[in-house]
Structure 1
Amino acid sequence: MPPGFLAVFSEPGANVTIDEYQDWYSNEHIPIRLDHLPSFLTGARYSASDSLRPSWVAVYDVDDTSTFFLESYTKLRTNRSPREADLVKRLELLDRRTYEVIGDENKGLTSSYHPVDPTKFILTQGIECPDDAALKGWFNAIAKDLNNVEGWTRTGLYKCIDNLKSGMSVGSGEEEQKVPKYLVIYEFLHPAAIDSSSFKSTIQRHSAKFDVNFVDGEERKWGLYRAYPGIAQS
């Protein structure tokens, strides 16, 4: 099966203090994955640098999409600790999205989220596109040109295979659970590259040709908070 990827967007909200949130995420939530599941290759957290919400995203490289269906992984949600179960109920938002990797273009990187020199700045975009073939055509076109953008280091393209939103801000309707079919993550050495004309023109130039549509509200800028060690790196 193809490599997997996990992105979890979250917002503590008014009922969870930032100190409580950070302690839970860094000292319980991530360690029970990275310290015990060798299929979780990397894990890192980013905070919003665009003043929008949600304020946080956690990203994980996973060796195989089959991991998402294994009992060793699913039990982490069904058998939460009392502390985690209580906190999760009080979060404003927990938006978990699992993906398969369908594209990866980089400058010789083996891992962007390894705790040794992780990627400092990322841009995420939600995408809708008629089919995988069209999107891969777009990805191949931009990948070639992005090599000429100063400060760019990597682009990953992901297809959503499952998602779940929960939290005090999430309603009960089906519309509340909708997320874009695809996610693209661009990685940069410095934040100025995200707003550079060379980067923006590269993306815009190929989007219309391949009927790629960027979903409103799903373009976000992030700065590294922390990358975490794990059993897969030892």
Structure 2
Amino acid sequence: MAPGFLIVYSEPGKEVSLHEFQDWYNNEHVPLRLNHLSSFLSGARYSASDSKTPAWVALYDIDNTATFSHESYTRLRANRSPREAALVKKLELLDRRTCEGHTDSGESSLSSSLKSENPTKYLVTHGIAWDGDAESEKVAKEWAETSVTESKKTEGWVRTRTFKVIDSLKTGLGISEGPEAQKVPIYFAVQEFLTAESAESYAKQLAGSTNNLPKVSIAEIRVWSLYRAYPGVGQGNLHVEAA
């Protein structure tokens, strides 16, 4: 099984206060995963530093993609608490994408990525798209190789990973009906940086880039700053609690 990855974009909207949203995420939603499931290897939340919406993103490293269909994980959504069930219905957006690992430039001594000890402070996330005739797997890997080569020249760069979305669902008061609203890039990248300046500079380069692969276009460019990285049993810094 390939390594798993979960990314969830969220926007509280007008019906949920920021305090209520943060309390739910910090004290119920994240702990139910990282405090109980050893398959969740890391988890961190970031806030938008580019003034765009959605304003929040949560990212989790998972041991492998089999976790997404395992009862220990699926029951968390199937058996939501009354509080969580009511809150989720009021959110402006909850954009959940389960993924498998695709490429990885490698772990760095500069940070622990999404782990709670020395987490990466700044991220750039974006989709990777191409024309319909391109061989998706090959083009995505070629783009990743080119991106890492270029990113290494950027001061403050830490790591580049790409992922393939295997399932996604957008819900919320701000999501219109129909298949068009549910479309997401099949591949996306998570780029890690040490400073806000290096992340913002790279995002600007992406936005104005005519990269070396003319078939490829970049979508959903976002810049994020760390809100909180959470300890978890998969990191070995929390005890497994009884279900």
Query: TM-score, normalising length from structure 2?
Result: 0.89
Q: RMSD of aligned C-alpha atoms?
A: 1.9
- 1:134 and 2:139 aligned: yes
1:107-158 per-position Cα deviation (integer Å, ceiling 9, x unaligned): 6358401111100000111111331111101211221232222100011101
Distance 1:197 1:84 in 2: 37
Aligned to 2:240: none
Alignment partner of 2:143: what SS? helix
Kept in 2: contact 1:121–1:222 (CA 8 A) = yes
1:164 aligned partner: 169
Give the superposition deviation at 1:233. 1.3
**Count of aligned residue pairs for this structure pair:** 230
Inter-partner Cα distance in structure 1 for 2:177 and 2:204: 39
| Equivalent position of 1:211 in the other structure | 215
**CA offset at residue 106 of structure 1?**
3.7
Q: How far 1:178 moved relative to its partner?
A: 0.9
1:146-190 CA distances to partner (integer Å, 9 max, x unpaired)? 222210001110110000111111122111111111111111000
Amino acid corresponding to residue 224 of structure 2 in structure 1: W
Q: Is the 8 A contact 1:134 1:210 kept in 2?
A: no
Residue of structure 2 equivalent to 1:48 = 48
**AA partner of residue 141 (structure 1):** T
* Whole-angstrom CA distance in 2 between matches of 1:83 and 1:9: 20
Deviation above 6 Å: which 4+ runs of structure 1?
Answer: none
Query: What amino acid does structure 1 have at the position aligned with 2:78?
Result: T
SS at match of 1:6: strand
Residue 199 of structure 1: how far off its partner (Å): 8.2
Q: CA deviation at 1:198?
A: 11
1:197 to 1:16, Cα distance in 2 relative to 1, 3 A: closer
Instruction: Describe the SS at the equivalent of 1:204.
Output: coil
Q: Are the equivalent residues in 1 in contact too, given 2:124–2:203 (CA < 8 A)?
A: no
Equivalent runs, 1:174-189 vs 2, <5 Å: 174-189=179-194
| Secondary structure class of the residue paired with 2:105 | strand
Deviation at 1:195, TM superposition (A): 3.6
Partner Cα separation in structure 2 for residue 139 and residue 231 of structure 1: 31
SS in 1 for 2:42: strand
Deviation at 1:204, TM superposition (A): 3.1
SS at match of 1:127: strand
CA distance in 2, matches of 1:107, 1:178: 31
Identity %: 50
Q: Does the 8 A contact of 1:46 with 1:226 survive in 2?
A: yes
* TM-score normalised by length of structure 1: 0.93
Contact 1:16–1:90 (CA under 8 A) maintained in structure 2:
yes
Matched letter for residue 222 of structure 1: W
Structure 2 residue matching 1:209: 3-state secondary structure: coil
Instruction: Indicate the SS of the match to 1:219.
Output: strand
1:54-76 Cα shifts (integer Å, max 9, x gaps): 00000000110111111111111
Contact kept in structure 2, 1:38 and 1:231, CA below 8 Å: yes
1:220 to 208, 222, 236: 222
- Do 1:106 and 1:153's aligned partners in 2 also have CA atoms closer than 8 Å? no
Counterpart pick for 2:156 among 151, 171, 174: 151
- Cα contact 2:12–2:21 (8 A) shared by 1: yes
> Which deviates the most, 92-101 or 122-131?
122-131
Segments of structure 2 that go 5 or more residues without pairing to the other structure are 237-243
Q: State the AA in 2 paired with 1:52.
A: K
Structure 1 gap ranges (5+): none
